Amino acid sequence: MSGGMVYFDGTSDYVNVGSGTWSSNPCNGSSNFTIAIAYASSQTGEGEGGAALACIGDPSTGGGQGHLTIFTNNNGQYIDCWYVDAVLDGQQYSGLSYSFSDGNMHYCFITYNAGTDLVQLYAIDGGSAVSGPSGTLGINTTGSNIYPRLGRAHNDPYNDFAGVELNGQISLFAIWNRVLTTAEMEDVEDLCVPPNPCRPSNVSPAKNEEHVDYRNLTLDWEVEGSCNPSTTYDANFGESYPPSLQASGISNTYWDAPTPLDRDKWYYWQIIAHVPGEPDPVEGGEWKFKTGGKAWNPSQYNGEGSVLISAQLSWDGDTFADSYNVYFGTDSTPYASESKGNQPGTTFNPTLDYENTYYWRIDEVIGGVPQTGDIWHFTTGAQATDPASLDFDEILFIRRPSFADDHFYTEFINYKPNVLRSDNGIFRYNFNTTAPHDYELS
């Protein structure tokens, strides 16, 4: 293990991140946060016999449950989270076990949503951020040992974690004052790669790019100008992670992928540089992309209800699609009998009736060949009733909703039909008094 930011020998080594009062702690439970840890460890114990990566909160309260501590074990391939208000007690996330080995770098994330008091554990597995256990935070906010600590739990009078210290390295520790998306988590992995002029980067297709043309695809990458021009490259490529070796001794910074690729599928790839005179190869990042060939993002969305009969249908299509074959009707399997023809645009104006379920499909035509799309459906709403036809004495509207404590308050307003205005409101029922009334709905 080398190239780490901080090394821990497993004997009284730890790093406190910040100090002072709880209010100055970015992880005090009052606002959203994300913590990222990149680490390597060779410890094989499990649970409390593993290694403490980070601890937040004060174990001296709540019977040892006043904190969140993240452990690693089994050579860094597993992550445990313990004592999150006892909700995550002893739960183990093991999604990394098949792809990593002793001493490799691993990445875990802890997010916290203050609105729901929910903490969630993530790990990078095969280049993708995958979720593990979750539960309420429930950490102590009054103790003195409340800032994050790396490599060891805070002093614990219950002796739960005596000697549970990290023997390994931490290459990245970062805190954000918001909840990261999984796509942002996947980009964090690139922050831990040491610079090298021959490291392949700036790839095309870009990392996590979608709707890529699957016909005659060329993979491109770049190296810095100071890289030895005699450097050669290996191309690892495939439908599953990790991708397998497909070509070696490549002298250019591009490689033609197998033709044709499957449409609407994820592919993984990595480029490894072999620099003359260097004993070790230089690995590029682990990238993935998804091919196109299928329309997406339907509007009306799949399964939508109460759709207006004046609604227009639209969808997103690939930039390399020539045109679109539209199928629409009440048959749940819309095929030739419900074809509405071919068109260049991505909108369609159907003829709709009330309270019907409609099915539709868009086939992209690519290189003259139709590519079958998904079947979507929606249901139209009922015909609205004209209030004037009900012969009501009055019409009641609702204005200015507001919340107070656990009650909902609103103002009710009466209008005679002959003075009915277009105020924002909701048509409710007959109301035979002459003055407005305030109601409390509990």
Whether cis (ω within 30° of 0) applies to the bond prior to 260 is: yes
- CA separation for the pair 361, 325 (Å, rounded): 8
Distance (Å, whole) CA 375 – CA 377: 7
- What does the pLDDT read at residue 4? 54
Question: CA-CA distance, 238 to 258, in Å (whole number)?
Answer: 10
Contacts of 80 (CB under 8 A, 6+ apart): 46, 47, 50, 70, 71, 72, 73, 90, 91, 92, 93
Measured CA to CA, the distance from residue 84 to residue 117 in angstroms comes to 11
Q: With respect to CATH, is domain 6-192 assigned 2.60.40.1180?
A: no
Q: Give every CB contact of residue 247 below 8 A, 6+ residues apart in sequence.
A: 234, 235, 255
- pLDDT value for 117: 80
Closest CA to 321 of 271, 370, 265: 370
Residues 79-97: tens digit of each pLDDT: 555 443 333 333 333 333 3
pLDDT score at 369: 94
- The predicted structure's pLDDT at residue 269: 96
Could you write out the three-class secondary structure of the chain?
CCCCCEEEECCCCCEECCCCCHHHCCCCCCCCEEEEEEEEECCCCCHHHCEEEEEEECCCCHHHCEEEEEEEECCCCEEEEEEECCCCCCEEECCCCCCCCCCCCEEEEEEEECCCCEEEEEEEECCEEEEEEEEECCCCCCCCCCCCEECCCCCCCCCCCCCCCCEEEEEEEEEECCCCCHHHHHHHHHHHCCCCCCCCEEEECCCCEEEECCCCCEEEEECCCCCCCCCEEEEEEECCCCCEEEEEEECCCEEECCCCCCCCCEEEEEEEEECCCCCCCEECCCEEEEECCCCEEEECCCCEEEECCCCCEEEECCCCCCEEEEEEECCCCCCHHHEEEEECCCEECCCCCCCCEEEEEEEEEECCEEECCCEEEEEECCCCCCHHHHCCCCEEEEEEEEEECCEEEEEEEEECHHHCCCCCCCCCCCCCCCCCCEEEEC
- pTM score of the predicted model: 0.66
Q: How far apart are CA 51 and CA 139, in angstroms?
A: 20
pLDDT recorded at residue 133: 67
- Per run of 10 residues, the mean pLDDT along the chain (length 442 residues) is 63 74 64 86 60 69 58 54 39 34 67 84 76 67 66 63 72 88 84 81 93 96 93 96 94 95 95 94 91 96 95 97 97 92 97 97 96 96 71 51 42 45 41 40 33
Nearest to 53 by CA among 124, 101, 109: 109
> pLDDT tens digits for 258-274?
988 999 999 999 999 99
Q: Is 246 exposed, middle or buried (0-12, 13-18, 19+ CB in 10 A)?
A: middle
Question: Using CA of residue 274, residue 275, residue 279, residue 284, what is the dihedral sign?
Answer: negative
What does each C-alpha distance from 50 to 74, 81, 95, 151, 186 come to in angstroms? 8, 11, 17, 11, 26
Say what the pLDDT of residue 2 is: 42
Q: What is the pLDDT of residue 30?
A: 76
Report the pLDDT value the prediction gives residue 178, as an integer from 0 to 100. Answer: 92
Domain made up of 201-291: CATH architecture = Sandwich (2.60)
- Report d(CA 40, CA 286) in Å as an integer: 18
| Within this chain, domains 6-192 and 201-291 share the same CATH topology | no
Second CATH level (architecture) for the domain 296-380: Sandwich (2.60)
- Tell me, what's the pLDDT at 163? 62
Give domain limits for the chain: 6-192, 201-291, 296-380, 387-441
| Tens-digit pLDDT profile for residues 286-314 | 899 999 999 999 999 999 999 999 999 99
Query: Which pLDDT score, from 0 to 100, does residue 380 have?
Result: 96
